[in-house]
């Protein structure tokens, strides 16, 4: 290990906040030894708070229609080759019904920014879900909306909102998004969601185009300060119909390293081993657990539309054989000594120093 790294790791383990320069060094000077030590510390920290329990979220991909044009995303509006679909409220409720029977107690409604999902329609779906499944949490991941809209959805019963910040650096944000989208608005959304009372998830892609260790250090500093309830990170994976088609994917190695660091800078965070991680490596999600993750998000969408919700190439779990992602992940997790629990999986209270 490079000199200095051990000291930074010791500091992290002791609950000290690192500054941006230190976080950058932790990333730029990493090696296998550092990764192994961080993973060990991260797993121990997670174990102290959550044991080996893995929380599940049933992911329902409600629409791939999107008014935005994010340069990295396969369902951006400029992609004329995408076959567009939108689930009906009845289809969404049926997915949840199946999911509840399988043991899911959180449903995540995710989609492109599809104008069909007005406040009225989305509130009706949320309140119906909450009425039918009162023991479940409803998470929305439907992009940027007004504060008023977030408030109405919260009042209708939504518990959580996932909105990755994508990058904590405004100039980097501008390289990944068209001019009409703004980093300030993304951050405004996250603040509004927090103030309204949602459990909030942020996150970013690892290895997105133009990303440097300095950008990642900013992401980590943001997470350290914002203390999200959830944090979704996964490798960037190019999609063949986007401007970033020829860019390299993010790596397994760096994603695992960052999962461990995030667990240590904010120990109680709910941290998924994402589908993108499972896409770049056949056992990526298992490796994610061993780096400090504690959440998986099996796909609950109707099998017929899964291939169409193609944010990036080669997304796993889109074939006929994968109708039951929960069972598959359960077996995978059991094989490495973890268990999927039937639980809403809310964030646990944690005092620094425990
Ligand atoms: N419209 C919603 C949901 C976006 S999809 C929103 O704006 O929040 C969820 C996440 O997928 C995005 O936040 C992004 O970080 C990730 N994603 C999009 N394209 C990707 C790609 N090519 N590779 C990896 N992850 C990608």
In this prediction, residue 319 carries a pLDDT of: 87
Is position 77 within any domain?
Answer: yes
Write down the residue that tokens 């780096």 correspond to: 291
On whether residue 351 sits in a domain, the answer given is no
Q: Examine residue 13 and state whether it is found in any structural domain, yes or no.
A: no
Rounded to the nearest angstrom, the distance between the alpha carbon of 76 and the centre of ligand 1 is 10
The yes-or-no verdict on residue 354 having pLDDT over 60 is no
Eight-state DSSP code of residue 312: S
Q: What is the mean pLDDT of the chain?
A: 97
Grouping H, G, I as helix, E, B as strand and the rest as coil, residue 106 is strand
202-226: buried (b, 16+ CB within 10 Å) or exposed (e) per residue? bbbbbbbbebebebbbbbbbbbbeb
* Interval 101-120: pLDDT, tens: 999 999 999 999 999 999 99
Closest residue by CA, ligand 1 atom 6: 143
Residue 5 domain flag = no
Pocket flag, ligand 1, residue 311 (CB < 6 Å): yes
With 80 as the cut, is the pLDDT of residue 352 above it?
no
Q: Which long-range contacts (CB under 8 A, 24 or more apart) does 188-195 make?
A: 188/147, 189/144, 189/145, 189/150, 189/163, 190/163, 190/165, 190/226, 192/147, 192/150, 193/150, 193/161, 193/163, 194/226
- Could you tell me the residue range of the domain that residue 115 belongs to? 19-344
- Mean pLDDT calculated for residue range 145-171: 99
Q: For residue 238, which atom of ligand 1 is closest to its CA?
A: 22
pTM of the model: 0.98
Atom of ligand 1 nearest to the CA of 203: 15
pLDDT tens per residue across span 304-342 = 999 999 999 999 999 887 778 999 999 999 999 999 999
325 neighbors 103 (Cβ within 8 angstroms): no
200-215 pLDDT, tens digit per residue, is 999 999 999 999 999 9
CATH number (domain holding residue 194): 3.20.20.70
Is the distance from CB of 189 to CB of 163 less than 8 angstroms? yes
Structurally, the chain folds into a number of domains equal to 1
């Amino acid at each position: 290990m490079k000199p200095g790294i051990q000291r930074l790791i010791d500091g992290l383990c002791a609950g000290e906040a690192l500054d941006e320069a230190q976080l950058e060094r932790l990333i730029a000077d990493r090696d296998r030894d550092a990764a192994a030590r961080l993973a060990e510390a991260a797993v121990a920290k997670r174990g102290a708070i959550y044991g080996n329990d893995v929380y599940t979220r049933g992911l329902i991909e409600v629409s791939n229609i999107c008014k935005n044009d994010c340069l990295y995303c396969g369902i951006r509006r400029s992609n004329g080759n995408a076959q567009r679909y939108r689930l009906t409220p009845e289809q969404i409720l049926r997915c949840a019904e199946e999911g509840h029977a399988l043991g899911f107690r959180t449903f995540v409604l995710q989609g492109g920014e599809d104008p069909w999902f007005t406040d009225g329609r989305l509130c009706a779906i949320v309140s119906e879900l909450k009425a039918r499944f009162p023991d479940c949490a409803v998470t929305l991941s439907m992009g940027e909306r007004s504060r008023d809209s977030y408030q109405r959805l919260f009042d209708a019963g939504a518990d959580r909102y996932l909105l990755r910040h994508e990058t904590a650096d405004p100039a980097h944000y501008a390289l990944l998004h068209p001019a009409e989208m703004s980093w300030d608005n993304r951050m405004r959304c996250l603040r509004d969601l927090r103030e309204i009372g949602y459990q909030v998830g942020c996150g970013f892609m690892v290895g997105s185009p133009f990303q440097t260790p300095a950008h990642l250090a900013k992401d980590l500093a943001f997470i350290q300060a914002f203390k999200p309830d959830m944090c979704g990170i996964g490798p960037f994976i190019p999609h063949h119909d986007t401007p970033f088609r020829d860019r390299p994917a993010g790596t397994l190695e760096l994603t695992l390293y960052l999962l461990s660091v995030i667990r240590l800078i904010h120990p109680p965070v709910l941290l998924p081993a994402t589908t993108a991680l499972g896409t770049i490596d056949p056992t990526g999600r298992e490796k994610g657990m061993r780096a400090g993750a504690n959440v998986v998000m099996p796909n609950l969408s109707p099998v017929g539309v899964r291939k169409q919700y193609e944010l990036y190439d080669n997304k796993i779990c889109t074939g006929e054989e994968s109708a039951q992602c929960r069972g598959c992940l359960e077996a995978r997790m059991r094989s490495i000594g973890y268990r999927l629990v039937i639980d809403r999986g809310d964030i646990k209270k944690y005092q620094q120093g425990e």
